[in-house]
Amino acid sequence: MPRSETTAARQVVDLITGTWRAQALHAAAALSLPDHIAAGHGTVAALADHTGASEDGLARLLRLLAALGVFTGDEEEGYGLTDVGALLVADGEQSMRDMVLLYGEEFHRAWGAVVPAIRTGASGFEHAFGISLHAYLRDVPDAGPRFLRAMNAGNVFFPEAAAAFDFTRAHTVVDVAGGSGLLLSAVLQAHPHLTGTVFDLPHMLPVAERHLSATVGAHRYETIAGDVFDKVPAGNDVYLLSRVLQDWDDERCVTLLANIRAAMADTGRLLVLERVVATDGTASVLPLLWDMHLLMAAGGRERTLDGYRSVLGAAGLRLESVHSLALETSLLVAAPVGGTPSAPALP
């Protein structure tokens, strides 16, 4: 086989075995292997004793995960944690364990329906579970809190977002569909003069209450239950919208954005955190993967900058500025059309 064909064949093999790597990581998290190893139980025998799993199966899984850089060591000397493995410890700082579990369970099943999702345009999650992701999070016990914990692991850009916008003239902030309250707490901690509100569906608020009560003084925040497609709290200076537009089609996005616009004063600002798909040939694979994942999970999509301009404009808002954040995320600052400018408008 010519060298070019060998290289191409290896690329195909690497692509089709990608899910095996993800599922091996999921197995490690589901069996709490990083927690047991962190506690000093790094041998195959000790891990089998603590997990109830077979020694043979564990030995093979651990050998693979060591080769993938999740663990150090080997079967003879025992296993330890790399920086990657440390992120899977349940109570570790910035733990990603819940994210790995969600992607290895519910989202793995959703991706199993990729072909019918592409054919019909309905989400892979609906094909796999028979209900939408939003209904699942509302109706299945503990699904909403588990989802929020998983999403928290991908929120490393929140402190950057809090620093990227000038909150000097603001007094009140509302995190619309604010979920866990992490974004609001990052903003309030960075700007002590602000008070804030998490606005979300009732089943999502307990997680936000717990987080905000532990990180922000009780006098600086409140939580309000409601549906963004009906109305949002009015009269605030800054509205936050983090990874919400990605879950909905353009029509629904315009509806929720119009509700935010109706609640804003002409001097207000909307801060949107989303991934933007580049159209100049520089797009990396990650935003494109997320775009496909949104179709699998919720029937949503990532958008180009023109796509965001379009839905914002239809709701009476204009894109004022764009700031790059970590993990290929962007902060889009939107202002009411005809409102008071605070920064040069984008071309």
DSSP per residue over 1-29, as a string? --HHHHHHHHHHHHHHTHHHHHHHHHHHH
pLDDT in tens, 275-319: 999 887 766 788 889 899 999 999 999 999 999 999 999 999 999
Determine which of 33-47, 147-161, 222-236 has the lowest per-residue pLDDT on average.
147-161
Give the C-alpha separation, 246 to 257, whole Å. Answer: 13
pLDDT in tens, 133-191: 999 998 998 888 888 888 776 667 788 999 999 999 999 999 999 988 999 999 999 99
**Which residue carries 């990180």 as its tokens?**
215
Q: What are phi and psi of 319, to 5 degrees?
A: -75, 120
Say what the pTM is.
0.82
**Residue 88 is encoded by which pair of tokens?**
């899977």
Give the C-alpha separation, 233 to 325, whole Å. Answer: 27
Model pLDDT, residue 158: 86
pLDDT in tens, 232-257: 999 999 999 999 999 999 999 999 99
Determine which of 90-94, 205-209, 343-347 has the lowest per-residue pLDDT on average.
343-347
**Residue 46 is encoded by which pair of tokens?**
């000790």
Task: Work out the percent of the chain whose per-residue pLDDT is above 90.
Answer: 75
Find all residues with CB under 8 Å of 281, minimum gap 6, and list them. none
pLDDT in tens, 193-205: 999 999 999 988 9
